[in-house]
């Protein structure tokens, strides 16, 4: 059908049209049905290598030693490499990648913000990352049907179960709760029976609804598993990383309107003596016009 300018769904109309134009309706159906979807070749090989090299360089500086992408043995478990956005211009690309951003906007609305941009750098050994929902930060069960948070996870190395790839529990976004301790295991006789590996080539983006249970398998082979977690939240949540007050001079150009919004330029809360701004009143009337969650 043709999508009209329907008054009941003022934001959804544009968001849906963009999803259709980008050829993502199957991904949208997968996201609705299973709580996650995969876009292969979301990043070109040169960008994947650029991101990976930059992250490994930052990790080496942080950890104070050399790392070996192909043959690493000594870096066990997972090291979080945080706050990547401002480290190099290349980190804008994954945040602004249009396909994932269209699906994230469907899940979180056009006022959503970037919560964090981090790498979970994984070497051989350890327990992996037990399954969980990212709707975790103080949001009690039962979760809502709509997302408060959503994630785009880029594979910067090929994802395999042996190599410690992402794990998913299909359909778990509809359970509206965190997994119990019996539903969290990934390995051996603790492995939860419904967990599946997301085995995709480097350059793929895996996008999920904030409720969906996921984790990542222990790495059983030498070398490193490099991901990039591009984590978004709705505007009423406090982002994990503080971008709003820390945007470097010259980081944003006039044409970067969406990026500025993702970094908090449009947030209406946080006033001081001046009280609510005009933007606050505009937002309130905008919200009052629509009863959908895609605002």
Ligand X SMILES: O=C(O)CCC(=O)C(=O)O
Cβ of residue 214: shortest distance to Fe ion, in angstroms?
6
Tell me whether residue 10 or residue 170 sits nearer to Fe ion (CB atom): 170
Give the footprint of ligand X on this chain (CB under 6 A).
120, 129, 134, 151, 153, 166, 214, 216, 227, 229
Residue 52 binding result from Fe ion, ligand X, none, given CB thresholds of 5 to 8 Å by partner type: none
Residue 108 binding result from Fe ion, ligand X, none, given CB thresholds of 5 to 8 Å by partner type: none
Q: How far is Cα 141 from Cα 133, in angstroms, rounded to an integer? A: 11
Tell me whether residue 204 or residue 295 sits nearer to ligand X (CB atom): 204
Phi/psi class of residue 60: alpha, beta or left (left: φ > 0; alpha: ψ in -120 to 50)? alpha
Tell me whether residue 120 or residue 283 sits nearer to ligand X (CB atom): 120
Phi/psi class of residue 194: alpha, beta or left (left: φ > 0; alpha: ψ in -120 to 50)? alpha
Cβ of residue 84: shortest distance to ligand X, in angstroms?
13
Tell me whether residue 105 or residue 230 sits nearer to Fe ion (CB atom): 230
Cβ of residue 63: shortest distance to Fe ion, in angstroms?
22
Give the footprint of Fe ion on this chain (CB under 5 A).
134
Cβ of residue 151: shortest distance to ligand X, in angstroms?
5
Q: How far is Cα 271 from Cα 170, in angstroms, rounded to an integer? A: 41
Count CB neighbours of 4 within 10 A. 8
Backbone angles phi, psi at 47, to 5 degrees: -65, -40
Cβ of residue 5: shortest distance to Fe ion, in angstroms?
37
**What angle is formed at CA 243 by the lines to CA 239 and CA 244, rounded to 5 degrees?**
95
Q: How far is Cα 234 from Cα 104, in angstroms, rounded to an integer? A: 10
Residue 155 binding result from ligand X, Fe ion, none, given CB thresholds of 5 to 8 Å by partner type: none
């Amino acid at each position: 059908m043709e999508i009209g300018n329907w008054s009941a769904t003022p934001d959804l109309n544009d968001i849906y049209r963009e999803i259709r134009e980008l050829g993502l309706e199957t991904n949208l159906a997968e996201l609705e049905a299973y709580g996650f979807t995969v876009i292969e070749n979301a990043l070109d090989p040169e960008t994947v290598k650029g991101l990976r090299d930059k992250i490994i360089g930052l990790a080496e500086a942080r950890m104070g030693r050399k790392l070996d992408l192909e043959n690493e043995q000594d870096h066990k478990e997972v090291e979080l490499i945080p706050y990547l956005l401002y480290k190099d211009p290349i980190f804008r690309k994954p945040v602004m990648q249009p396909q994932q951003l269209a699906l994230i906007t469907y899940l979180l609305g056009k006022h959503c913000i970037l919560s964090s941009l981090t790498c979970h750098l994984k070497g051989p050994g350890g327990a992996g990352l037990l399954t969980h929902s990212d709707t975790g930060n103080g949001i009690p069960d039962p979760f809502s049907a709509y997302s408060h948070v959503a994630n785009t996870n880029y594979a910067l190395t090929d994802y395999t179960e042996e190599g410690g790839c992402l794990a998913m529990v299909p359909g778990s976004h509809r359970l509206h709760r965190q997994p119990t301790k019996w539903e969290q295991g990934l390995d051996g006789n603790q492995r939860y029976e419904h967990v599946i590996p997301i085995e995709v080539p480097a350059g793929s983006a895996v996008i999920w609804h904030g409720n969906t249970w996921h984790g990542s398998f222990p790495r059983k082979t030498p070398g490193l598993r490099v991901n990039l977690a591009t984590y978004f939240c709705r505007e009423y949540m406090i982002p994990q990383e503080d971008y709003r007050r820390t945007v470097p001079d010259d980081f944003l150009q006039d044409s970067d309107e969406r990026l500025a919004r993702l970094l908090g330029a449009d947030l209406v809360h946080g006033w001081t003596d001046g009280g609510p701004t005009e933007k606050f009143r505009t937002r309130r009337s905008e919200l009052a016009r629509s009863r959908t969650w895609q605002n």
